Amino acid sequence: MTSPYRAIFTAPGTKGFSAAGLLGRMPLSMLGIGVVTMISQLTGRYGLAGALSATLALSAAAIGPQISRLVDRHGQRRVLRRATVVSAVAVAGLLVCAQQRLPDWTLFVCAAGGGCVPSVGSMVRARWAAMHRGDPRMLHAAYSWESIVDEVCFIFGPILSIGLSTAWFPEAGPLMAGGFLVVGVCWLTAQRATEPAPHPHGHGPGGSALGSPGLRLLVLTFVATGAIFGSIDVVTVAFADERGHKALASLVLAVYALGSCLAGAVFGLLHLRGAASSRWLVGVCAMALSMIPLQLAGNLPFLAGALFVAGLFVAPTMVTTMALVEQHVPRSRLTEGMTWTSTGLAVGVALGSSAAGWAVDAGGARQGYLVPLVAGALAAVVALPGYRRLNLPVPLDGSGADDRYSENTGCGTDGDGGTAGGDLA
């Protein structure tokens, strides 16, 4: 392991909570596609399968920030285990209802309950933030490492979920996803030494992390970014199917995730200077521009190469975004703030998937790739006029200067709008 990554794991407990986070995040990439595979095998109804997957995603987007808000107030152990029980029971109910061919409405009720799944990635990043607050370089390496973990989940999760459901029995993929969630959350919450301290009095009445203008900008941009991801998934499957190699779609999409994974690994080794907000803007615009070559794809090898290049801009932009969330959300609402970015992505994925499916039905896969192009352009349009507000400090819970900016933590702004200490956090 290269030195910055070795350094972040020297502190006691870091390997344990990061490994638990990997297991707890696997359902993020396994559950939706597992439900689609299960329902399509049991009923042959792809419309129902897609609707249930969308219900899961939208439910998680609505409930996730509320769970994280409770975590900020009461602590991870107290909240996560209860939320996980609700989610696991709902997923189990979904599998039973599907297997027993119960009425469709029962499937949707269970899918909505399954959205109670906690944002494990946000929980792990909150632990890194609490551990390395005041050390921007270490926090940069930690966020980069977690972006690698995210991509590992998205490389192997869908392959594992689809493979289990097709080779073993239809319910195997979602069942394994639920198992990963339970084991990961129980393991994570058992590690009390690295759990961030709760802030039971840090929330005013009706207060929310979305009170930060900077966070609102990041979340809105991430809705458009999520539409890129969701539409690419759908259109790539259609593209491969049109060329008679539908099974290769998962490998092509894995190349996309691989590009992001490698970029995240390299990005974590860099000691960057200047404004994080400027790097974020460059990343968003680069992601938008990387959608142009997809319009020229005529075969799977070209498409895989174009997606690999596009993936190179994903992880660095995500890492910078999380660092900006840490700057622009009061400490007592950090987990909620990180979860709102995931919510923006989830909403965008649902919208992008729907739009891409409509575009493919109307004009084929080549026309479908216009959807991620438009989504990228929208992300850039949102980011360009507002990114300068990301240089502004945020008051602590709306009541005076945040001590992150009054202490010498490396999170204040320097003269050119960059971060003091010369790094992202």
Question: Total structural domains in the chain?
Answer: 2
How do the residues of the chain divide into helix, strand and coil, expressed in percent and rounded to 5? 75, 0, 20
Regarding whether 120 and 218 lie in a shared domain, the answer is: no
Instruction: Report the distance separating Cα 312 and Cα 293, nearest Å.
Output: 14
Q: Could you tell me the pLDDT band of residue 289, with boundaries at 50, 70 and 90?
A: very high
pLDDT tops 80 at residue 133: no
Regarding whether 169 and 69 lie in a shared domain, the answer is: yes
Regarding whether 138 and 251 lie in a shared domain, the answer is: no
- What average pLDDT does range 88-94 have in this prediction? 93
In a domain, 7, yes or no: no
% of the chain exceeding 90 in pLDDT: 21
What's the confidence (pLDDT) of residue 47? 67
- What average pLDDT does range 236-241 have in this prediction? 81
Regarding whether 180 and 44 lie in a shared domain, the answer is: yes
Regarding whether 157 and 215 lie in a shared domain, the answer is: no
pLDDT tops 90 at residue 57: no
| Candidate from 9-18, 118-127, 236-245 with smallest mean pLDDT | 236-245
Instruction: Name residue 366's amino acid.
Output: R
Regarding whether 234 and 174 lie in a shared domain, the answer is: no
pLDDT tops 50 at residue 402: no
Max mean pLDDT range (131-145, 152-166, 254-268): 254-268
| Candidate from 77-81, 240-244, 327-331 with smallest mean pLDDT | 327-331
What value does the mean pLDDT of the chain take?
80
Instruction: Pick the closest to residue 197 from 75, 339, 78 (CA basis).
Output: 75
| Candidate from 9-18, 54-63, 119-128, 321-330 with smallest mean pLDDT | 321-330
How far is Cα of residue 391 from the mean position of the Cα atoms in its chain?
A: 23
Regarding whether 173 and 317 lie in a shared domain, the answer is: no
pLDDT tops 80 at residue 220: yes
Q: Could you tell me the pLDDT band of residue 397, with boundaries at 50, 70 and 90?
A: very low
By the 8 A CB rule, do 260 and 144 touch?
no
Q: Could you tell me the pLDDT band of residue 373, with boundaries at 50, 70 and 90?
A: very high
Max mean pLDDT range (67-71, 183-187, 327-331): 183-187
By the 8 A CB rule, do 121 and 341 touch?
no
By the 8 A CB rule, do 155 and 30 touch?
no
Q: CATH number for the domain including 31? A: 1.20.1250.20
What's the confidence (pLDDT) of residue 182? 93
Max mean pLDDT range (55-59, 92-96, 135-139, 317-321): 92-96
Instruction: Name residue 127's amino acid.
Output: R
Last residue within a domain, chosen from 162, 195, 228: 195
Regarding whether 187 and 102 lie in a shared domain, the answer is: yes
- What average pLDDT does range 43-63 have in this prediction? 78
By the 8 A CB rule, do 46 and 96 touch?
no
Q: 259: domain range?
A: 210-425
pLDDT tops 70 at residue 415: no
pLDDT tops 50 at residue 228: yes
In a domain, 205, yes or no: no
pTM of the model: 0.73
What's the confidence (pLDDT) of residue 208? 67
Regarding whether 52 and 27 lie in a shared domain, the answer is: yes
In a domain, 4, yes or no: no
| Candidate from 225-234, 264-273, 379-388, 410-419 with smallest mean pLDDT | 410-419
What's the confidence (pLDDT) of residue 51? 78
| Candidate from 212-226, 354-368, 390-404 with smallest mean pLDDT | 390-404
By the 8 A CB rule, do 89 and 56 touch?
no
What's the confidence (pLDDT) of residue 205? 43
Q: Is 118 helix (H, G, I), strand (E, B) or coil?
A: coil
pLDDT tops 70 at residue 392: no
Instruction: Report the distance separating Cα 180 and Cα 183, nearest Å.
Output: 5
Last residue within a domain, chosen from 195, 224, 248: 195
In a domain, 61, yes or no: yes
Regarding whether 380 and 346 lie in a shared domain, the answer is: yes
pLDDT tops 80 at residue 369: yes
- 205 vs 23, more confident: 23
Regarding whether 295 and 183 lie in a shared domain, the answer is: no
Q: Could you tell me the pLDDT band of residue 235, with boundaries at 50, 70 and 90?
A: confident
Instruction: Report the distance separating Cα 2 and Cα 5, nearest Å.
Output: 6
Regarding whether 38 and 139 lie in a shared domain, the answer is: yes
- What average pLDDT does range 282-311 have in this prediction? 92
